[in-house]
Amino acid sequence: MKKIAVLAITKNGIGIGLKLKEYFSDFEIFAPIKFSNNDEKIQWYEDSTTQKIVDLFKNNDGIICLFSLGAVIRLLAPHIKDKKTDPAVIVIDDNANFVISVLSGHLGGANELSNEIAEKMDATPVITTAADVNKTIAVDLVGREFGWKIDDDSNVTRISAFMVNKEKIGVFQNTGKKEWWKGKLPENITLFSKIEDLKDSDSKGYLIITNDQINDKDILKDSVVYRVPNLVVGIGLHWDTSKETILNGVNETLEKFELKQNQIARFVSIKKDKDIIGLIELGKEMNIPIEYIDREELATITAPNPSKTVQAFEGTASVSEAAAIKSSEGELIVEKQKFPPNLTVAIARMVK
């Protein structure tokens, strides 16, 4: 988590907040101005706590509340929307005996952070998510540490229920890190070497780790499919190429070659004097990192479709293809696609 706010509303809570700050220097501490002692490590607020907690909830990746769980629930209940977008919420009691993961335990990271805090503070972590207490696979977290992305999350809740109830689950994998589960797999998990074998098994649900296209609807209706980002998208563009133009070109290219957005590991382009705003905006919107490569490096790459015009303007005969090849250290699988007048797209697959 990038941005964590700590909300203390008692003198004890302020002391706990300062202790947390010693261990987690990036945490921001907030407390009512009525307790102010001019400590610059604390942001003293004049608003009501009712308003302050809402502001922090909406503007942080996580909030840690140093007061009662019941009060936190009452204050935040009207503002809770979705586990995919709500921040992590953690509650610590006024004596720092318990660190309670309240909201967004998995996707928001509250469980992991609660354990880290409890270890530092010599407190007891309170984790109630079923996968964690049963020490089984958290379906919504599989491969997350490696950047894997769920293709369609509509089955996650149902397959998660199968998992925690120890129903039989079949797993097929033909890409990505094999050691994604630490230790011995749960007894209800069976690995299959062929995706077709899943249907012939007595499994109630499937975890499928692949970048292949799956057309069998009977398999998909009982599956959670994980995509392993291994595509590098090379972008050739002008200084004024818009976010919408880039997005449309990328999506059209992906669709044409039966590839998926969630297989993209990063965008890559030529390093210009100024970064292109449209590309920056798209990277933020899609949560995809951007890499820039100097023209001198791109000029050393042999690309299948060099251009004299590009050479004249950019100092290298290829941008999109050369950037994709250079960054991926792999194979160019989609040659340059032109979207006149100001965009080209090429795609390479990483081999590492």
Q: So what's the pLDDT on residue 84?
A: 82
Domain that holds residue 13: 4-128
SS3 58: helix
Residues 121, 15 share a domain:
yes
Identify whether 159 is part of a domain: yes
Q: So what's the pLDDT on residue 352?
A: 63
Rounded distance between C-alpha atoms, residue 279 and residue 26, angstroms: 29
pLDDT tens-digit series, residues 3-40? 999 999 999 999 999 999 999 999 999 999 999 999 99
Identify whether 12 is part of a domain: yes
What CATH number is associated with residue 219?
Answer: 3.40.1390.40
**What predicted TM-score, i.e. pTM, was given to this entire model?**
0.73
Residues 211, 165 share a domain:
yes
Average pLDDT estimate for 186-196: 95
Strand partners, 293: 270
pLDDT-derived band at 351 (thresholds 50, 70, 90) equals: confident
User: pLDDT at residue 1 above 70?
Assistant: no
Round the average pLDDT of the chain to a whole number and report it.
95
Give the end of a domain, one of 227, 258, 281.
Answer: 227
Please state the domain count of the chain: 3
Residues 269, 171 share a domain:
no
Ramachandran angles phi, psi of 128, nearest 5°: -120, 0
Q: So what's the pLDDT on residue 182?
A: 85
pLDDT tens-digit series, residues 41-69? 999 999 999 999 999 999 999 999 999 99
Give the end of a domain, one of 227, 244, 273.
Answer: 227
Residues 145, 118 share a domain:
no
Count CA atoms closer than 13 A to 9's CA, side-chain side: 18
pLDDT tens-digit series, residues 98-134? 999 999 998 899 999 999 999 999 999 999 998 888 8
Give the end of a domain, one of 74, 97, 128.
Answer: 128
Residues 342, 237 share a domain:
yes
What CATH number is associated with residue 23?
Answer: 3.40.50.11220
Identify whether 133 is part of a domain: no
Residues 178, 150 share a domain:
yes
Residues 84, 160 share a domain:
no
Strand partners, 141: none
State the CB neighbour count (10 A cutoff) for residue 349. Answer: 18
Return the closest-CA partner of residue 246 out of 286, 298, 197.
286
Q: So what's the pLDDT on residue 50?
A: 96
What CATH number is associated with residue 271?
Answer: 3.30.420.180
Identify whether 186 is part of a domain: yes
Residues 144, 124 share a domain:
no
Residues 157, 250 share a domain:
no
Rounded distance between C-alpha atoms, residue 322 and residue 305, angstroms: 9
Identify whether 42 is part of a domain: yes
Return the closest-CA partner of residue 268 out of 250, 245, 252, 285.
250
Residues 101, 79 share a domain:
yes
pLDDT-derived band at 214 (thresholds 50, 70, 90) equals: very high
Identify whether 61 is part of a domain: yes
Identify whether 134 is part of a domain: no
Q: So what's the pLDDT on residue 135?
A: 86
